[in-house]
Amino acid sequence: MFRLPPLHRAAAVFLRLRLASPRATFSSKPTNPCTRRVASAAAAAVSDAVVRLVAAGGRSLEADLDRLDPALSHPLVSATLRALTDRGVPASRFFDWLALRRGFSPSAHAHNLLVENAGSLADYRAMSRAMASMSTRRVPLTERAFAFLNSSQGSAKDTAIAILATLDEVGGPCRASGVFSLVKALASIGEFDAAMSVIQEAARGARYYNALMAVKCKTGDFHGAREVFDEMRRSGFGPNANSWNYLLGCLLKNGRVAEACELVEAMERSEHKDIPNSLTYEILAYHACKSGRMDSAMQILDQMFLEKLTQRITIHTAFIKGYLYAGRIEDACRYVSAMSTRDRHSVNRNYSLLAKLLCKAGMIVDAGRILYELMEKEALLPDHSAYIRVIKDLHKIGKGDLAAELKLILQKLSNKYPTKARVDASHS
């Protein structure tokens, strides 16, 4: 069993933690607004025509749909199912017609929308048929299937019991995913008593309790999360490492650092060999980086390497951003260079992220230098999006000669590793 560094005995260091404001993420690729509006309007018109036919019903519905012969797509089907639910129209006949169409198979999302449609109409027979079809196809139920709970007129607990009875009737793979998604759906709308009744009735287990804890921690309700944690202990199911980590993250997110240090100490006293785990280290390092306490964060990372724990790319992202936001540019560069020997799996992503962030900060030449080091020293191809961003920005500032040099190195590497180059391009 590994041990965390004695952070609980250095609580004074963390007491000065101040959470930084959330940082903006990179925007997605631009699209043509005009093209998007035209396509959206056309799809909406087709969906509306289908909805009108299904709402009218009648014996000839299937023949009418055949004559309409809409160009089916997953977005169109999803939009139609949502519209039918909004209008209170049963969608089962439309879905049965879909299932018979050659060359088209309803998506997992569409199956869940069908369950939602049946639930919104309180038609549990239709819900049972939809779930049985999903179970046969091994399609999991998601929270979307129970989105109707948010607008249900009756008692959430009574509705949950009816859904649970339907899941018990269907059984199979659908029941396991259904119970878990039902608990999450109830928790997401604040129906914790109903969610707890489902757990106690059908699914006592750490992952179900953790679903409640996750929602409470997300809203900063540490007291409520701790109540669920204590109920887990009384039930004899858990808590597990994730349960402890939810509490730790909630405390740190809300600046309750002294209590977080006490919690770490309690985790170290646990008899379970996987408590604390690698995610515990990552949570501590992330919050230290976010508050600019980079030396403390590095102490935690060193301990992870000492314990031979695998680091996710997210922890490296936290370090790179932490150094940059603290104005320690050279330290950020030294960090990605050091990780090229300590964690080879992260090299490409670390260099590419640093290059993107330097571009965003207007340090274009430095970004080019980082990609040069990645390709020349490490002999690795950068992420395609990072490479394109740097090349374009170098041209914008009149550094076409540097851009040409990077292109030449990239061409040499691409010839040397053609398969890797194709993989990078496919992920751009």
Tens of pLDDT, residue by residue over 395-405, are 999 999 999 99
CB 158 within 8 Å of CB 166: no
What are 340-351's pLDDT values in tens digits?
999 988 999 999
Query: Average pLDDT for residues 367-396, to the nearest whole number?
Result: 95
| Mean predicted confidence (pLDDT) in 119-138 | 95
Write down the pLDDT at residue 274: 83
pLDDT at residue 23 above 50?
A: no
CB-CB contact of 109 with 144 (8 Å): yes
* H or E stretch at 51: helix 33-56
Structure tokens, 85: 């639910």
Q: Report long-range pairs for 128-131 (Cβ below 8 Å, ≥24 apart).
A: 128/166, 128/169, 128/170, 129/92, 130/92, 130/95, 131/166, 131/167, 131/170, 131/174, 131/178
Phi, psi of 19 (to 5 degrees): -70, 130
Backbone φ and ψ of 150, nearest 5° = -65, -25
Q: What span, in angstroms and rounded, lies between the C-alpha atoms of 77 and 426? A: 28
**335 HSE (CA, 13 A, CB side):** 27
**CB-CB contact of 386 with 370 (8 Å):** no
pLDDT of residue 37: 64
- Amino acid identity for residue 101 in this structure: R
Question: If you write DSSP's letter for every residue of 177-188 in order, what string do you get?
Answer: HHHHHHHHHHHH
Q: How far from chain centre, in Å, is Cα 269?
A: 31
Contacts of 233 (CB under 8 A, 6+ apart): 239
DSSP-assigned states of every residue in 385-418:
HHHHHHHHHHHHTT-HHHHHHHHHHHHHHHHH-H
Residue 337's pLDDT band (boundaries 50, 70, 90)? very high
pLDDT value, residue 288: 94
Which of the four pLDDT bands, split at 50, 70 and 90, describes residue 238?
confident
Q: What is the chain's alpha carbon radius of gyration, rounded to the nearest angstrom?
A: 27
- Which of 12-16, 38-42, 56-60, 284-288 has the highest mean predicted lDDT (pLDDT)? 284-288
Task: Determine the Cα angle at 73 with ends 70 and 76, to 5°.
Answer: 75
- 428 pLDDT band (50/70/90 cuts)? very low
* Residue with more model confidence, 418 or 284: 284
At 350, which helix (H) or strand (E)? helix 347-360
pLDDT tens digits, 289-312: 999 999 999 999 999 999 888 889
Helix H segments across 72-205? 74-86, 92-99, 108-120, 124-137, 156-170, 172-188, 192-202
d(CA 57, CA 61) in angstroms, rounded, equals: 6
**Position 24 pLDDT exceeds 60:** no
Give the residue-averaged pLDDT of 221-234. 93
Alpha carbon of 394 to those of 23, 239, 358, 381, 384: distances in Å? 25, 52, 12, 18, 15
Kindly report the average pLDDT of the chain as a whole number. Answer: 87
What tokens appear for 11 in the block?
Answer: 């609580």
| 211 burial via Cβ count (<10 Å: 0-12, 13-18, 19+) | buried
318: pLDDT strictly greater than 70:
yes
pLDDT at 423 over 90: no
> 68-109, pLDDT tens digit by residue?
999 899 999 999 999 999 999 999 999 999 989 888 999 999
Measure CA 343 to chain center.
Answer: 24
Question: Which residues, 6+ apart, have CB-to-CB distance to 118 below 8 Å?
Answer: 90, 91, 92, 124, 126, 127, 130
- Tell me which of 23-32, 75-84, 207-216, 318-327 is least confident: 23-32
Rounded mean pLDDT, 191-203: 90
- Phi-psi label, residue 426: left if phi above 0, alpha if psi -120 to 50, beta otherwise: alpha
- The whole-angstrom separation of Cα 283 and Cα 289 is 10
pLDDT at 20 over 50: no
Q: Residue 218 and residue 103: Cα distance in Å, rounded? A: 42
